[in-house]
Amino acid sequence: MFGGTASAGTAAGAGTIVRSTGGLLAEGLNFKSDAVVFAKRSAAGLAVEALGTVTDPAGERFYFLSRWNSGDIDAREGRGRQEITGGTGRFAGIRGECDFRIDYLSPTLAVIHQSCRWEQP
């Protein structure tokens, strides 16, 4: 038996890459992000995961799985790791990971800071 609470919802946002070493994820790239977020709270704590898509202005996408390892909305901050799992078009074959920090401005608005490493065969 689970013995806790669980919820799921969607999240959407937009961003711009402000610092990069170039290539596919170059400085100035604007993108849209959409995700399904799953949260479970139990005696062991809060577990949050998100499955999502990042879409560039040309409509090409890459996919991710994010897992939070600390914090929550009540703490106004969260940290975790994101895995880049593939993509379409120019992102086909991309793989990587990102460490992230989320600053929650409100329950429905956040700023996400990421540092990523990726490769594409």
Number of domains within the chain: 1
pLDDT score for 89 = 95
Q: What is the CATH number of the domain that holds 31?
A: 2.40.350
Q: Give the model confidence (pLDDT) of 61-99 as tens digits.
A: 999 999 988 876 677 788 999 999 999 999 999 999 999
Domain range for 113 is 5-119
Q: Which residues contact 120 (CB under 8 A, 6 or more apart)?
A: 24, 91, 92, 93, 94, 95
Q: Give the model confidence (pLDDT) of 17-71 as tens digits.
A: 888 877 888 888 899 999 999 988 888 888 889 999 999 999 999 999 999 888 7
pLDDT score for 66 = 93
